[in-house]
Amino acid sequence: MGVIFIKDAGDPRISAFRDIRERDLTGREGLFIAEGEVVVRVLASSASRCRTRGLLLAEKRVAALADVIDALPGEVPVYAASQAVMDGVAGFPLHRGILALGEKPAPTSLDTVLSDLKPEDVLVVACGIGNHDNMGGLFRNAAAFGAQAVLLDGECCDPFYRKAIRVSVGAVLRTPFVAGLEVGPLVDRLIAAGVEPLALTPSATHALHAYRRRGPVALLLGSEGPGLNPAVIARCTGVGIPMAGGFDSLNVAATSAVALHHLATNPARN
């Protein structure tokens, strides 16, 4: 299938791309919008867990993505339009000029995640993360430091929100995750599976830099402000990052980066 040129923002063939700022808030029946060249390249790559359902490109971006277009299955439509039409479709100035429609992967089960853990494995547990920038940052850091999966409680926002995908630089599209979990029972499952739950909290008496693990761990991170529930912290190994200047915590995405780096560079000991 060749590139299909679109002249009208109201063309029904591109209806799935329309008004993405508003429609991202209500969902797309198992579909999502990916934005920008880096993210779209991840979506179309062999590392992606998702399927590409279509591209919508500004005419000036077609040449830069020629290799991606050539590698797509023949049934995937590729549309091109002027920048003015692109802006009309999106509902705001779309400077990147690159959109893709993707299909979410089949859900991953907690049983699958816990079925074959190794001593060096790390899981990320997100509790009450409602900010899309922080969600994207968590996924980016999880992928960068080799976490096996991200586990989300029922209070977390959808990682397939367009901004979360963009901030993650596509990590959401390639990282296994389980959503809608209840934290208390999850901690029970982790302990039963031989995974040490590690709670990041300013109230911890143990410093992260001194912590050494003995097997697989799950890194629990709470929302900024409330943090983790004290009852959850009490059932975990609590660790904190010492601060200077009167600060008691970092942004949750920054915290995840520091903690995951420590875990990745300090392997499990016998």
Domain ranges of the chain: 3-103, 110-265
pLDDT (tens digit per residue) in 187-215: 999 999 999 999 998 878 889 999 999 99
| 3-state SS assignment for residue 56 | strand
Better-predicted residue by pLDDT, 205 or 251: 251
Amino acid at 97: G
Q: Which fold has domain 3-103?
A: 60s Ribosomal Protein L30; Chain: A; (3.30.1330)
Mean pLDDT, range 256-263, rounded to an integer = 96
Q: What is the largest CA-CA distance in the chain?
A: 65
Mean pLDDT, range 8-12, rounded to an integer = 94
Order the strands of the 149-153 sheet from edge to edge: 177-181, 149-153, 122-127, 217-222, 196-200, 237-240, 206-207
Report yes or no: 238 and 183 within 8 Å, Cβ to Cβ: no
Q: Say yes or no: do domains 3-103 and 110-265 share a fold.
A: no
Query: Percent of the chain beyond pLDDT 90?
Result: 80
Report yes or no: 86 and 8 within 8 Å, Cβ to Cβ: no
Assigned superfamily of 110-265? SPOUT methyltransferase, trefoil knot domain (3.40.1280.10)
Mean pLDDT, range 8-23, rounded to an integer = 88
Taking the model in full, what pTM does it have? 0.93
Average pLDDT over all residues of the chain: 92
